[in-house]
Amino acid sequence: MARIRVTSPAASARATVFDLLARQLREHDIGILDEALLAAIDGVFADERRGFFLLALRDAEAAGVAYVSFTWSLEHGGNSAWLEELYVLPEWRDQGVGTILLNSVLEEARLRGCAALDLEVESAHARAEHLYARHGFTRHSRARWVKNLSR
């Protein structure tokens, strides 16, 4: 396997971050306008208190991306993180890229003072569930609900 390096991208990597996240959202049938996704990405680059991106690179080529947002949680006693997206390009799956990226997310969240890292997994994504279980995540008994307020 080629050497994988994880980096915190600069705003100049906006197009790469956008491309990978747009692929992830399409793969999960999450409809978002490109302009809205770009605005959200720009918002993170503009204010690091909102969260962070990590890019997994094989040589100079992107192999995956993670996005973590921050939240102030009573349940976790303060600053915590939400792993909103972890995406590995299909050609790089099952080669350890997700594990490398997740380990980097956990390390960065700890460095930023987060007490916990929450995430969700689509019920049909057993591979993702196995990844998180191997890293000590446990299934929560609650279900996540959402109401879109922008429509």
Q: How far is the CA of 85 from the CAs of 1, 2, 151, in angstroms?
A: 24, 23, 23
**Please, what is the Cα angle at 18 between 29 and 54, to 5 degrees?**
105
For the chain, how far is it from start to end, CA to CA, in angstroms? 45
Q: What is the pLDDT of residue 151?
A: 66
Q: What is the pLDDT of residue 2?
A: 61
Residue 150 pLDDT greater than 80, yes or no: no
Please report the domains of the chain, with CATH numbers, ordered by start residue.
Answer: 4-134 (3.40.630.30)
pLDDT tens-digit series, residues 40-97: 999 999 999 999 999 999 888 999 999 999 999 999 999 999 999 999 999 999 889 9
